[in-house]
Chains A and B, each alone.
Chain A
Amino acid sequence: MKSFFQTNLGQAWLVLLLALIFGSSLAGVQAALGPRIEDNKLKETLEKVPVVILGQTAADDLAAKGEPLTITPNTVSIDKNGITKFYTLYRADYADGTTAGWVAKSSGQGYADKIELLVGMDGNAQKVTGLFILDQKETPGLGNRIVEDEWRAQFSGLSTDTPFKVVKIGKGGVNEIDAISGATISSRSVTKLVNQAVSDLKPQVAQLKTSGKKGEK
């Protein structure tokens, strides 16, 4: 009979032991730094909400005037096919109380890793006002071009009535988005996330708006 150290398991004892040690130390690192990273993300989200709704220049103007938007986070749950999905939906109000717009945080699988993004919509959720990528690890030089202004700007100002569609060449139809060449999957993932967020949250916005106004009265 073979001794234990000649079996596959016996040979791999060091790998298993190291995996255990490294795994637990990584869990420790995550536990220690996780809250701080989340803080950083939240801070960036709050900074980007006005930009996603109004655009960089208008957001800067408002901040310079000293009348920044008031941002209220809402957690929205949506039941779809028996699965409950949670979104964070930020409501941004002008100083006079009118709603400037809504920003939804959405995340899902991209080509390489999870993509996290912010979608901005106007006050009635009729139009997409902007898009910002919070976190991504797509292929450098191809997929990670989803963070570039030029590509993201395609979404701005489009109506939320029809879902966005990614096309490879010759966009021209309603709500069509040019794919990044060499990164069709990344482009599709982002568009899918935007579509999902918009279709899930559009009815919610109307509901929140009325309930919010009632609260004010």
Chain B
Amino acid sequence: MADQPTASERFLQGILPENPVYRQLLGLCPTLAVTNGMKPAITMAVSVAFVLVCANVVISLIRNLLKPHLRIVIFTLTIATFVTIADRVLAAYLYQMSKTLGPYIPLIIVNCIIICRCEVCASKQSPFIAASDALGQAIGFGLALSSIAAVREILGTGGLFGIQLLPAAWPDWVIMVLPPGAFITLGLLLGFVNWLGMRKSGGSI
């Protein structure tokens, strides 16, 4: 397949040009829900990265056995397995965090980023390329989550990771920690990233 991107192209594309949140607008449910603090955002990003890499590699390994009409079933089966593993590991080693994230970890099963990468890349290319694609997308997702979480946590509580950053006189904008803050932050950052992209490509808005 000469027209398929190479491993390094896949990797780099995932980080910004095809960023899952800012470019593809995928996985917005966890993006909005768990970005009220840096810690849950990073735990979520790591869990997604684990599931994404494992699912992509497994699908890529069995890509020649896939029947077209059964592929979605197999994708879901694979993804659900790794999500369950991630969920159990969190419950065993990061119990409080797993309670904070609540149903959002099991909901990774229906996260479009992963099924999209299985469909677009892993079911067509070799395991190495699939793994670098997954890593790129996972880093892109992690960057998106942490950028939103950073803005929300700093404005909402005046600190990051519980460390006070802004002067104590800062009137904590509680709304940034609440759901509306997620929409406002995502909207503004999305606009900002698009504006940067436009400027770079020389276009005008």
Q: Which residues of A contact B (CB under 8 A)?
A: 11-12, 14-15, 18-19, 22, 25-26, 29-30, 33, 36-37, 40, 44, 112, 136-141, 144
Contacts and interface: CB of A to CB of B under 8 A. Distances in A.
Given A137-B103, A144-B103, A14 B84 contact: no
Contact of A14 (B74, B104, B106): B74
A19 B92 contact: no
B84 A26 contact: yes
B73 interface: yes
A141 B92 contact: no
A115 to B, nearest CB: 12
Interface residues of B, number: 25
B195 interface: no
A63 to B, nearest CB: 18
A138 B73 CA distance: 25
B179 interface: yes
B103 A22 contact: no
Residue from B78, B84, B104 with most neighbouring chain A CB atoms (10 Å): B84
A40 B81 contact: no
8 contacts: A14-B65, A19-B77, A29-B84, A29-B89, A36-B93, A37-B88, A37-B95, A40-B92
Interface string B55-99: 000000010011100100110011001001100110111010000
A33 B88 contact: yes
B187 interface: no
Contacts of A137: 102-103, 106
B189 to A, nearest CB: 22
Given A11-B67, A22-B78, 16 more contacts: A11-B70, A14-B70, A14-B74, A15-B73, A22-B81, A25-B81, A25-B85, A26-B84, A29-B84, A29-B88, A33-B88, A37-B91, A37-B95, A40-B91, A112-B103, A138-B103
Which 3 A-B residue pairings sit nearest by Cβ, starting from the closest? A40-B95, A22-B81, A33-B92
Contact of A15 (B33, B70, B88): B70
A18 B77 contact: yes
Contacts of A141: 179
Given A12-B70, A15-B77, A18-B78, A36 B92 contact: yes
Contacts of A139: 103
B29 to A, nearest CB: 8
